[in-house]
Amino acid sequence: MDTLSTQTLPVSIELGNDYEDIRESVRRICENFPGSYWRNLDEQQGYPSEFVNALTEAGYLGALIPEEYGGSGLPLRAASVILEEIHAAGCNAGACHAQMYIMGTLLRHGSEEQKRKYLPDIASGKLRLQAFGITEPTTGSDTTQIKTRAVRDGDNYIINGQKVWTSRARYSDLMLLLARTTPADQVKKKTDGISVFLVDLREARGNGVEIQPIRAMINHNTTEVFIENLVVPASSLVGEEGKGFRYILDGMNAERILCASEAIGDAKWFTKTAAVYGNERVVFGRPIGQNQGIQFPIARAYAETEAADMMVRKATAIFAAGLDCGEAANIAKLLASEAAWHAAEACMQTHGGFGYAAEYDVERKWRECRVMQIAPISSNLILSFIGQHVLGMPRSF
């Protein structure tokens, strides 16, 4: 068994508040978007356009796009820090974080013509690429069984199907879409015959694409996308036909690391908020934080957050070294999402009834962070990955 824990890897991990200039800049931006801003959006199920614009103008949504295409050309760790600080400030990057990692498929596997055409405008904010059409109502996490079909017709493809939990589709100009170009019963491997398309939603809406919002527990502007006889040019195919599944897998490690970073930020917000309230709230003549029943869960959440943060740093370091970071990325996502949830529970319990009051923002953040154990990959799927691919145990069913 040769796992990351038994290997000597040529990577280094920086401790402390790395990228302090970026952290401070993100904090300043977030100061302009207090809890009242997010509560108002929550009530209206609105989209944080002002917040997204502020991050775009600062160059942070184009952080991972190389400078030759108009981006900042920053490493994944810098992007990780950006998202962590957004969530640690009480804000939420769910409305725009996908723009950071979705473009990776285009960057790594798109044609030079596609990259020159789209990446500069994505980096500047002129175009938004924030929608990813993968999940379907009947397939869930089993992406190989998607039923959305793309059939070649001369210089075009005709696409039919349905996607669900496609967040931000109503506010995105472009969407990456996963579809079968070869039926599942005609391929040797179930991962073959799946392709990725870059769909221009500005043209597709009303011309083969219908988008319906899904009212959900958290305000991620998620939708259901119905596709009927959508005609897209063959030039919208990203990479080679039939190899889309591996293209998607190629970007999942970065996605998991970035989502783990958001969870670290949430955990930091919860532990800080809980500790402050525990010091200020006086019951029976003393601060409630003096009680072990309050103090110890917060302290444990802090310890779990520090441990998860180290795993996130390790994953980004391995990613930066160009090595296989699948194990580290998955473990980072698992530990960070659990640390955030434990911190959320400690914070909610510390606030008691006031935790349910919207003005404290605890219940909003509590709802938001719970999704991290479900998406973009569930904790059980990560455990299955570790059991089978790291520990060499039999495939579980």
Q: Where in the chain is the domain with CATH 2.40.110.10?
A: 130-243
Q: Where in the chain is the domain with CATH 1.20.140.10?
A: 246-390
pLDDT the model gives residue 100: 86
Residue 233's beta-bridge partner residues?
156
Q: What confidence tens digit (pLDDT) does each residue in 274-329 have?
A: 999 999 999 999 999 999 999 999 999 999 999 999 999 999 999 999 999 999 99
Q: What confidence tens digit (pLDDT) does each residue in 22-55 have?
A: 999 999 999 999 999 999 999 998 999 999 999 9
Note every long-range contact of 36-42, with CB atoms under 8 Å and residues 24 or more positions apart, other chains counting.
Answer: 38/90, 38/91, 38/92, 38/361, 38/364, 39/358, 39/359, 39/361, 39/364, 41/219, 42/219, 42/358, 42/364
Q: Is 389 exposed, middle or buried (0-12, 13-18, 19+ CB in 10 A)?
A: middle
Helix (H, G, I), strand (E, B) or coil at 149: strand
Find tokens 């824990």 and name the residue.
5
If you classify domain 246-390 with CATH, what class do you get? Answer: mainly alpha
Question: How many of the other CB atoms lie within 10 Å of CB of 397?
Answer: 4
CB 222 within 8 A of CB 166: yes
What is the rounded CA–CA span in Å between residue 22 and residue 139?
Answer: 40
CB 27 within 8 A of CB 82: no
pTM for the full predicted model = 0.94
**Residues of the chain with confidence (pLDDT) below 50:** none
Q: What is the DSSP letter of 208?
A: T
Kindly list the distances between the CA atom of residue 81 and the CA atoms of 270, 312, 378, in Å, as whole numbers in the listed order.
Answer: 17, 10, 23
Does the domain spanning 130-243 belong to CATH 2.40.110.10?
A: yes
Radius of gyration of the chain (CA): 22
pLDDT the model gives residue 99: 83
End-to-end CA distance of the chain: 22
Q: Where in the chain is the domain with CATH 1.10.540.10?
A: 4-128
pLDDT the model gives residue 101: 85
pLDDT the model gives residue 91: 97
Question: How many of the other CB atoms lie within 10 Å of CB of 9?
Answer: 13
φ/ψ of residue 220, rounded to 5:
-105, 10
Tell me which architecture the domain covering 4-128 has in CATH: Orthogonal Bundle (1.10)
